[in-house]
Chain A
Amino acid sequence: MTSSDTVYKSIKDLSRDEFISPGTPVCGGCGGLEVLRLAAKVLGERVVFVNAAGCFTLLALFPYTPFRGSWLYTTMGSAPAGAQGVRDALDILLAKGRLPPEDDLQVVVVAGDGSTYDMALSATSGTLYRNLDYWYICYDNEAYGNTGMQQSSATPYAAHTATTPEGAGDSSAIPFAKKDIFEIWRAHKPPYIATVSPRHPVDLARKFEKAKQFRGPKLFLAFAPCPTGWLYDPAHTQAYAKLGVECGIFPLKEAVHGQVTHTYVKRRWRPVEEYLQGQGRFRHLFEPVRQDAMIRTIQEAVERYWAEALSEKDK
């Protein structure tokens, strides 16, 4: 692992170099792609992305690839196991002198929430158990996006999806809170976990840079606003990425050897309504009749989260 001294204080410190070419087949305004673009600026070109079935599978579309590095598409349920095979093979080749050290690669899983929260949980758990030296970027758009926004276990309470049409009154689509994948990962005690948002590029770059010092799994949960699935104008991706953080819904944090630190904390979070309103998937909370109880449920969940998070910090 090459550790560098790059310090990210402002957006100007990020590389001007692009490692992912524009013009890919993913949707305009894709929050996940922006995260990947920013992450690649820190990771550089000596990477092999190991991909699980999802929106990003379309990035490398024969005979084109937008990457300066390498790419391997695996399956929906086993990209982390693919990373295991690639990392182990590179280590074997290095140890046997069949690969010069300068030809080594960082192995980076790129998977959506459907794969990460559901199908590949077993494969991911295995790599964490074995302390595999790799990166994992989950672009979380909170549903099975590539198949047209069906419910995944990352879908938040009250969101409308194609398989959970809202009913009458306040019987909403999703009665559950999304799985807490950050805590599921953290229970395995990997050296580094972080959440990142495309609207906080300096925070993102710092976290990827910081993670370079750790050997073992380096896991990133990326907030991925999705105009196609969340039903808003693609021009507003950065606005929703910002509101998700500012309303306290998507906490920016990291866990170093299990120790959690929030990297963006406010005294007062903006009301969740500002984030919910305007997204088509939450329209039924506001029209035709305002669902106060449900909005309150969401607001209270955010307040409970931060009350616990900040009291933990005081301990």
Chain B
Amino acid sequence: MTRQMLTGNSAAAWGARLADVDYVPAFPITPQTEIIETLAQWCADGTMPGRFVTLDSEHSMLTAAGAAAATGVRVFTATSSQGLLYAFELLYTVAGWRVPLVLVNVSRALASPITLEPDHNDVLAARDSGFLQIHAETCQEVLDSVLMAYRIAEDARVLLPAIVNLDGFYLSFTREPVTLPAPEQVRAFLPAYAPTHAAFKASRPMAQGVVVLGGAPYSYFKYQMHLAAQNALAVHEGVAEQFAAAFGRRYGLIETYRMDDADYVLVMSNAFATKGKAAVNRFRDQGIRMGLLRLRMLRPFPKSAIVSALRGRQAVAVIDQNLSVGFGGITYAEIASALYGEPRPPLLLSYIGGLGGKDLSAAEFDHMAQDLQHSVSRGEAPPPRLLYTDREAEQMAAFLRLAGKGEVA
């Protein structure tokens, strides 16, 4: 066990290395590239016994990843944003193959407009695919989640691929102290992948990924995936317990921060939750009983964990770093649906914030804290809002004038 300063990307690469992956099909894209560069180096110099290959696109990359896993090896791959969408067809395809590979997605906002900085529209677009999704806040959690993801994905009750998500730039390029578990300890926690359900070999011919005709077999196989994904909730809890016993760090399906007596709750995910926790500390100093719920496992959706964490609260603000155009915040919708039917549910407020890497300032957290308190006194939630500061609006107006487009609307 050693401690090092690692970026989120290096932590992801360390996760793959410690998981002793056999195969890394790759394709570069900002801000993920550091992961595959690191793995390329380790595979080239023999530090890692895995095989590294660069494909011609993310579509090919994920095909190769799935096909290799279907043949019987442990596979790791990584992408971001446009790359994830370029591979979109394969997300559904390889999930249906029931191959437990792990894909690290380094979140980056989607074109257009084309940009580099993060939000979660890329990874959330994949939420219906059959991939499990674990969202990490810190570099340590990135590494730990990669190891846990293999255990969960490879469990015979699950057998689905998994995405571990981290934020581009804010976490991918931020150095934090990370404890590296000893390889032999990891080996004990995560034994070699030895699939019995599907693999290619001459002595046991097998047809995989075959076509079905008619809705009945299709529905059967699709629903099997859903049941398997739901099993991942219980499997996660068992794996988290063993992980804590082995490495001393305990992860939940969700993380609750200063929630014990909280009247008000911020719901966030990924690296910006660190900003949210700082804001919670500030509010606590002011005597406001604020807590934070961080969404960690998003697929399968941990409905009952979320509902019990929010039960009895007065008001909850969901901050979505994503925008379902024409609807609003995606996790807001999922939490609202989870709370439906609860007797006396908390007021639920929806904010869109941090799109395309836009910062969340203290002023914006202050604004939400006020909204939360006012909504309770008024007895109703305000309409959903975009978090955007006056200063940002002024700057945007200046840009629009320069672009010859007049005043900002």
Residues of A within 8 A of B90 (CB): 75, 78
The segment from B164-172, B210-218, B302-310, B312-320 that touches chain A is B210-218
Minimum Cβ distance to chain B for residue A124 (Å): 9
Asked whether A70 is an interface residue with its Cβ less than 8 Å from the other chain, the reply is yes
A245–B57 Cα distance when bound, in Å, is 37
- B200, A60: Cβ atoms closer than 8 Å: no
In the complex formed, the residue of A with least CB distance to B89 is A75
Residues of B within 8 A of A80 (CB): 60
Residues of A within 8 A of B217 (CB): 62
Residues of B within 8 A of A105 (CB): 200-202
- B67, A123: Cβ atoms closer than 8 Å: no
- A60, B61: Cβ atoms closer than 8 Å: no
- B207, A123: Cβ atoms closer than 8 Å: no
Interface members, chain B 178-212 (any A CB < 8 Å):
200-203, 205-212
- B93, A75: Cβ atoms closer than 8 Å: yes
In the complex formed, the residue of B with least CB distance to A119 is B59
- A88, B210: Cβ atoms closer than 8 Å: no
Given the interface pairs A61-B213, A88-B53, A93-B71, the reply to whether A46 lies near B207 with Cβ below 8 Å is no
Over the window 272-300 of chain B, the binary record of Cβ atoms lying under 8 Å from chain A Cβ atoms (1 yes, 0 no) is 00000000000000000000000000000
In the complex formed, the residue of A with least CB distance to B192 is A98
In the complex formed, the residue of B with least CB distance to A82 is B67
- A85, B63: Cβ atoms closer than 8 Å: yes
In the complex formed, the residue of A with least CB distance to B94 is A74
Asked whether A104 is an interface residue with its Cβ less than 8 Å from the other chain, the reply is yes
A129–B263 Cα distance when bound, in Å, is 61
Q: Which of B73, B209, B210 has the most CB of A within 10 A?
A: B210
Interface members, chain B 347-379 (any A CB < 8 Å):
none
In the complex formed, the residue of A with least CB distance to B99 is A85
Residues of B within 8 A of A90 (CB): 71, 200
Asked whether A86 is an interface residue with its Cβ less than 8 Å from the other chain, the reply is yes
Given the interface pairs A86-B200, A89-B68, the reply to whether A81 lies near B51 with Cβ below 8 Å is no
Interface members, chain B 93-132 (any A CB < 8 Å):
93
Given the interface pairs A70-B207, A102-B202, A103-B202, the reply to whether A78 lies near B73 with Cβ below 8 Å is no
Residues of A within 8 A of B55 (CB): 81, 84, 123, 126
Given the interface pairs A84-B25, A102-B203, A104-B202, the reply to whether A71 lies near B210 with Cβ below 8 Å is yes
Asked whether A69 is an interface residue with its Cβ less than 8 Å from the other chain, the reply is yes
Asked whether A261 is an interface residue with its Cβ less than 8 Å from the other chain, the reply is no
- A72, B67: Cβ atoms closer than 8 Å: yes
- A91, B51: Cβ atoms closer than 8 Å: yes
A65–B63 Cα distance when bound, in Å, is 22
Minimum Cβ distance to chain A for residue B223 (Å): 15
In the complex formed, the residue of A with least CB distance to B64 is A85
Residues of A within 8 A of B93 (CB): 74-75
A71–B207 Cα distance when bound, in Å, is 4
Number of chain B interface residues as a range:
35 or more
- Interface contact tally, CB-CB below 8 A: 154
A86–B97 Cα distance when bound, in Å, is 14
Residues of A within 8 A of B23 (CB): 85, 88-89, 92
Interface members, chain A 96-111 (any B CB < 8 Å):
96, 98-99, 102-105
In the complex formed, the residue of B with least CB distance to A76 is B89
Minimum Cβ distance to chain A for residue B339 (Å): 39
- B207, A89: Cβ atoms closer than 8 Å: no
Asked whether A116 is an interface residue with its Cβ less than 8 Å from the other chain, the reply is no
Given the interface pairs A70-B205, A89-B22, A105-B201, the reply to whether A81 lies near B56 with Cβ below 8 Å is yes
- B209, A73: Cβ atoms closer than 8 Å: yes
Residues of B within 8 A of A177 (CB): none
Residues of B within 8 A of A91 (CB): 51
- A92, B202: Cβ atoms closer than 8 Å: no
Asked whether A228 is an interface residue with its Cβ less than 8 Å from the other chain, the reply is no
Asked whether A130 is an interface residue with its Cβ less than 8 Å from the other chain, the reply is yes
- B212, A62: Cβ atoms closer than 8 Å: yes
Asked whether B323 is an interface residue with its Cβ less than 8 Å from the other chain, the reply is no
A50–B191 Cα distance when bound, in Å, is 29
Residues of B within 8 A of A98 (CB): 72
Asked whether A48 is an interface residue with its Cβ less than 8 Å from the other chain, the reply is yes
Q: Which of A61, A77, A104 contacts B59 (CB 8 A)?
A: A77
Asked whether B15 is an interface residue with its Cβ less than 8 Å from the other chain, the reply is no
- A93, B73: Cβ atoms closer than 8 Å: yes
- B63, A81: Cβ atoms closer than 8 Å: yes
- A65, B210: Cβ atoms closer than 8 Å: yes
- A103, B203: Cβ atoms closer than 8 Å: yes
- A82, B63: Cβ atoms closer than 8 Å: yes
Over the window 67-81 of chain B, the binary record of Cβ atoms lying under 8 Å from chain A Cβ atoms (1 yes, 0 no) is 111111100000000
Residues of B within 8 A of A93 (CB): 71-73
Asked whether A303 is an interface residue with its Cβ less than 8 Å from the other chain, the reply is no
- A78, B207: Cβ atoms closer than 8 Å: no
A75–B65 Cα distance when bound, in Å, is 13
A-B contact pairs, 7 of them (CB 8 A): A72-B209, A73-B211, A85-B69, A91-B51, A105-B201, A123-B57, A130-B53
Give 12 new A-B contacts, CB below 8 A, not counting A103-B202, A123-B56.
A57-B211, A62-B211, A62-B217, A74-B93, A77-B59, A78-B59, A81-B67, A85-B65, A85-B69, A86-B70, A89-B72, A130-B53
Chain A residues proximal to chain B, CB less than 8 Å: 45-46, 48, 50, 57-58, 60-62, 65, 67-75, 77-86, 88-93, 96, 98-99, 102-105, 122-123, 125-126, 129-130
